[in-house]
Amino acid sequence: MAYLMAVDSGNTHIKWGLHDGCCWLTQGKAAQDSSMLLRQEWQDLPKPLCVMVSNVANTKTKTALSKLLSYWEVQPKWIAALAYQCGVRNYYAEPSLLGSDRWAALIAAWGLQRKGCLVVDVGTAMTVDTLSDTGEFLGGIIVPGLDLMKKTLATNATSLQLQEGEFNDYPDNTADAMHSGAIQALVGAIERMTVLLTVTLGHVPKCIISGGGSQQLQSQLSMAAKVVDNLVLEGLVLIAEENSRAPV
């Protein structure tokens, strides 16, 4: 059986999954500095025929990840955004400069939806990207994620401290005010992009949301939003499938 190892190397975490061509056999997640944990988890897996990687972390991280992946003696394929792939056309000013994670997520969303939609990934940063009804990536925005927004406040405002807070419509303490404010800001960005894309498409788009903070935002959104775990990994599978069909 031909196995695919898909790896999403982000700013904070590495997410991965082993796919058998039909479904995920196993998936995992580790902090970027947990190479020993990854080594232990991967050493008991069957050898993959193909390794697909999206990496948006720095060069040092890529080097360390390459060393880990060399365990299987399979040359990893590091994806980059293209002008066209898997039914998605890339309208970024310079297509190759679009983050590989955003590109893979867009491909996964198009594979799921096949219609205009918002593609939201909530991590260290939050991206809100747009797809047309014909699979065109029209553009998108990047804003600080939930934790980064709160850390930035605590770092730059001397009277504010980073504490755990809860969401409230009308917060009555500073921790809740910071947490609720960050949630409201992120939800507002998504809903603003929904309004813009609705005008462009002529209908209200669906929203696909992924990432560590997706559940917190989904509960506050005024539109229907479908949470899809590991959207980048799903996109890597589709890219690998299209590559396998390409003529040699």
Every domain of the chain and the residues it spans: 4-78, 84-231
Two domains, one topology: 4-78 and 84-231: yes
Which of 44-48, 164-168, 197-201 is predicted least confidently?
Answer: 164-168
Catalytic residue, chosen from 8, 33, 44, 101, is 101
CA distances from 30 to 7, 108, 201, 230 (A): 11, 22, 38, 13
N- to C-terminal Cα separation, the chain: 21
Taking 70 as the threshold, does the pLDDT of residue 129 lie above it? yes
- Domain 84-231 homologous superfamily, CATH: ATPase, nucleotide binding domain (3.30.420.40)
What CATH number is given for 4-78 in this structure?
3.30.420.40
Tell me what the pLDDT averaged over the chain comes to.
92
DSSP three-state, residue 91:
coil
- Determine the average pLDDT of the residues in 16-33: 93
Q: Model confidence at 122, in pLDDT bands (50, 70, 90)?
A: very high
Chain segment 137-186, per-residue pLDDT in tens:
999 999 999 989 888 887 777 666 677 888 989 999 988 998 999 999 99
The residues near 122 (Cβ < 8 Å, ≥ 6 apart) are: 145, 146, 186, 209, 210, 211, 212, 213, 214, 217
| pLDDT the model gives residue 197 | 98
Taking 60 as the threshold, does the pLDDT of residue 222 lie above it? yes
Q: Model confidence at 247, in pLDDT bands (50, 70, 90)?
A: low
| pLDDT the model gives residue 34 | 83
CA distances from 4 to 147, 157, 202, 235 (A): 32, 46, 39, 12
CA distance linking residue 151 with residue 154, whole number of Å: 5
| pLDDT the model gives residue 141 | 98
Query: Catalytic residue at 147?
Result: no
DSSP three-state, residue 174:
helix
Q: Model confidence at 11, in pLDDT bands (50, 70, 90)?
A: confident
Q: Model confidence at 119, in pLDDT bands (50, 70, 90)?
A: very high
- Determine the average pLDDT of the residues in 91-119: 97
Question: Higher confidence at residue 213 or residue 110?
Answer: 110
Q: 44: buried, middle or exposed (CB in 10 Å: 19+, 13-18, 0-12)? A: exposed
- Determine the average pLDDT of the residues in 202-217: 93
Taking 80 as the threshold, does the pLDDT of residue 12 lie above it? yes
| pLDDT the model gives residue 2 | 84
Does the predicted model carry a pTM greater than 0.85? yes
- Determine the average pLDDT of the residues in 75-91: 97
